[in-house]
């Protein structure tokens, strides 16, 4: 079961967390009396910085040219590519018996990943052995990244994107800010 986050306040007199009224139904449906549950504090990310990041990604996507624009066909696809390029990805490597098998495995992996957004799949030969490597971008959702991770991944992504369109990160951020104000 996947748990949905709930908000609570700390009651120091009682030494207890109190679930906010608007989250009582969610808490009641997923928690059982007497059970222990880990608590993780997540700092709220600013909606403004979140939106600003995505308008900057959109600005980079609008400025792509040539083959890159054809391959990275949506802003989200571009963001996924930049997350992988900047190291914000999960990686899986599978050994293949031969080059032909590696190619078939890669084609199969590509077909499975078709609806996943951006996935980098490569066939690699290392020390005479064939491998298929897949890299999928990490989610930047509020549930997946805390405030610091989101800020760092956003800076890294904008650095990659600004290099791809040959501008500085500051120029890309300015374009994103202007788009956010007028878009």
- pLDDT tens for 28-51 read 999 999 988 888 776 677 778 888
Instruction: Report domain extents, the chain.
Output: 1-41, 47-182
pLDDT, one tens digit for every residue, the chain (183 residues) = 577 888 889 999 999 989 999 999 998 999 999 988 888 776 677 778 888 899 999 999 999 988 888 888 899 999 999 999 999 999 999 999 999 999 999 999 988 887 778 999 999 999 999 999 999 999 998 878 888 999 999 999 999 999 999 999 999 999 888 876 665
With beta carbons less than 8 A apart as the criterion, state whether 57 and 79 touch. yes
Contacts within 8 Å (CB) and 24+ apart, 122-128: 123/96, 123/99, 125/99
* Residue 128 confidence (pLDDT): 95
**Both tokens assigned to 47:** 């909606």
With beta carbons less than 8 A apart as the criterion, state whether 138 and 88 touch. yes
* Residue 181 confidence (pLDDT): 67
Task: Give 73-134 as a DSSP string.
Answer: -SHHHHHHHHHHHTT-EEEEEEEESSHHHHHHHHHHHHHHTTTSS--EEEEEEETTEEEEEE
d(CA 123, CA 133): 6
């Amino acid at each position: 079961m996947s748990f949905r986050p709930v908000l609570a306040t700390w009651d120091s007199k009682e030494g207890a967390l109190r679930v906010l009224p608007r989250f009582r139904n969610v808490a009641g449906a997923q928690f059982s009396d007497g059970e222990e549950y880990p608590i993780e504090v997540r700092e709220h990310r600013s909606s403004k910085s979140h939106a600003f990041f995505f308008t900057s990604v959109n600005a980079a996507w609008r400025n792509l040219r040539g083959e890159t624009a054809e391959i990275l066909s949506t802003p989200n696809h571009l963001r996924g590519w930049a997350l992988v390029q900047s190291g914000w990805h999960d990686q899986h490597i599978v050994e293949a018996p031969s080059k032909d098998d590696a190619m078939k495995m890669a084609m199969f992996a590509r077909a499975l990943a078709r609806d996943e957004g951006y996935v980098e799949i490569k066939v690699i030969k290392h020390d005479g052995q064939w491998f298929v490597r897949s890299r999928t971008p990490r989610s930047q959702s509020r549930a997946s990244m805390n405030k610091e991770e989101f800020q760092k991944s956003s800076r890294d992504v904008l650095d990659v994107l600004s290099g791809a369109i040959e501008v500085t990160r500051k120029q890309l951020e300015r374009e994103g800010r202007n788009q956010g104000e007028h878009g």
